[in-house]
Amino acid sequence: MSQQNLESLDVGAIREEFPILQREFNGEQLVYLDNAATTQTPDSVVDAMSDYYREFNANVHRGIHHLSQEASVAYEEAHDRVAEFIGASGGREEVIFTKNTTEAENLVAYSWGLNELGPGDEIVLTEMEHHASLVTWQQIGKRTGADVKYIRVTEDGRLDMDHARECITDDTAMLSAVHVSNTLGTVNPVSELVDIAHDHDALAFIDGAQAVPNRPVDVEAIDADFYAFSGHKMSGPTGIGALYGKRDLLEEMQPYLYGGGMIRKVTFEDSTWDDLPWKFEPGTPQIAEAVGLVAAIDWLEEIGMERIQAHEEEIARYAYDRLTAEPDVEVYGPEPGPERGGLVGFNLESVHAHDLASIMNDHAVAIRAGDHCTQPLHDKLGVAASARASFYVYNTKEEVDKLVDAIDDARQLFA
Ligand SMILES: Cc1ncc(COP(=O)(O)O)c(C=O)c1O
């Protein structure tokens, strides 16, 4: 990405599409740096959803009347749009709408894992997995007798790829790895991990919750068997996420939730299932949210995923440099560059992360403090909690300066 292209990203104009960013608290303008938890939603997404409710709200599954037809087409086509966005050439059959990334993990764990795994099988995770993946596969391991192994994280917050090659063996049935760590910011070499898994005839699930929002993702280039992400982390609505799966695998898998809308034929004795992806989408789905997700994808693509990535990397680099310049701040994860995404996890010596976040909040700076759903990783780091500033396309370096100023304030208060 050239500097010129970077400069052409008009953050001021982008911010105008987010009225929420104009809010003030205690007389100070909101600095929203909690994007890894949830991003803000531009007007175009809110408008698309309200147009749906105003103009064509109806249940889907192709009712006879006009409104149901329109809602059905919008909902079905949303699958195609998501498929196109993530490079799934199989189209809608390979995209299942879920509530979020967590539900996508559970879908595969229950639908595939419970049926396919048993004693002697291994599930390989990384030490930097989010609980969405870690807890889910841990429980499936307990229920099936499969062992769970963890690929080590190095001192500098990267995956130990030699250890990955040791961990993944012919007994491995499933590798589940996070694409971008929500705690360390590490961008993992997912294609390489998938290749290692495939060399041992294992399947690979990639958690893309922190990747799809801010970089171009091509699930076929990665060759992931499954790939998941959430709408609310990519300027879309809450309540919708997506699971990509290779068609032949999804065809073979049993549904995980049952009910209306996913069946072909039901008798008192038995039932058969509808085609993909409907087989995995029982009940009334997230119709307005699917419409909103399409609007979010349109909005992101209009800016360009490369530019979004470049912007985030630049802000993250600036934050990393400013924070590492503070002698009493410990920053986690790799140095800025292609192996770090747009977030910075850190701790200020002698101030608990929760106190720090609270002082930041006094200055209207919104960050997250806690274990970020990676408790075992925090145990490994030797801390109970960390503070995390995470950036998106609307953040500026001036906002990072406010974050650092608030750290000064915290230091003085606790001195
Ligand atoms: C890496 C990663 N995976 C999974 C999740 C879970 O996402 P959701 O809460 O949308 O299911 C998150 C959320 O923070 C995440 O950062």
Q: Which tokens belong to 344?
A: 């910075």
Q: Rounded to whole angstroms, how far apart are CA atoms 5 and 3?
A: 5
Catalytic residue among 49, 190, 373, 400: 373
Classify strands 203-207 and 172-178 as parallel, antiparallel or unpaired: parallel
Region for residue 61 given its phi and psi (left: phi exceeds 0; alpha: psi -120 to 50; beta: otherwise)? left
CA of 411 relative to ligand 1 center, distance in Å: 31
* Helix 66-85 × helix 43-55 angle, to 10°: 150
Q: Which tokens belong to 212?
A: 């799809």
**Residue ranges lining ligand 1, Cβ < 6 Å:** 36-37, 100-102, 130, 132, 178, 182, 207, 209-210, 230, 241
Q: Residue 127 carries which DSSP code?
A: T
Active site residue 167: no
Q: Are the C-beta atoms of residues 189 and 161 closer than 8 Å to each other?
A: yes
Q: Are the C-beta atoms of residues 185 and 128 closer than 8 Å to each other?
A: no
- Output the tens digit of pLDDT for each of the chain's 415 residues: 444 454 568 999 999 999 999 999 999 999 999 999 999 999 999 999 999 999 999 999 878 999 999 999 999 999 999 999 999 999 999 999 999 999 999 999 999 999 999 999 999 999 999 999 999 999 999 999 999 999 999 999 999 999 999 999 999 999 999 999 999 999 999 999 999 999 999 999 999 999 999 999 999 999 999 999 999 999 999 999 999 999 999 999 999 999 999 999 999 999 999 999 999 999 999 999 999 999 999 999 999 999 999 999 999 999 999 999 999 999 999 999 889 999 999 999 989 999 999 999 999 999 999 999 999 999 999 999 999 999 999 999 999 999 999 999 999 998 7
Q: State the fold for domain 3-38+304-414.
A: Aspartate Aminotransferase, domain 1 (3.90.1150)
Q: Residue 334 carries which DSSP code?
A: P
Q: Choose one of 39, 130, 372 to mutate for the ligand 1 pocket test, by most ligand atoms within 8 angstroms of C-beta.
A: 130
What pLDDT is attached to residue 62? Answer: 77
Q: Are the C-beta atoms of residues 312 and 391 closer than 8 Å to each other?
A: yes
Q: Which tokens belong to 415?
A: 């001195």
What pLDDT is attached to residue 8? Answer: 67
Which sequence spans correspond to the domains of the chain?
3-38+304-414, 46-301
Assigned architecture for domain 46-301 = 3-Layer(aba) Sandwich (3.40)
What pLDDT is attached to residue 159? Answer: 98
CA of 4 relative to ligand 1 center, distance in Å: 33
Atom of ligand 1 nearest to the CA of 104: 11
Burial of 4 (0-12, 13-18, 19+ CB in 10 A): exposed
SS3 139: helix
What pLDDT is attached to residue 339? Answer: 92
CA of 134 relative to ligand 1 center, distance in Å: 11
Atom of ligand 1 nearest to the CA of 180: 1
What pLDDT is attached to residue 2? Answer: 43
What pLDDT is attached to residue 100? Answer: 98
Q: Choose one of 131, 210, 229 to mutate for the ligand 1 pocket test, by most ligand atoms within 8 angstroms of C-beta.
A: 210
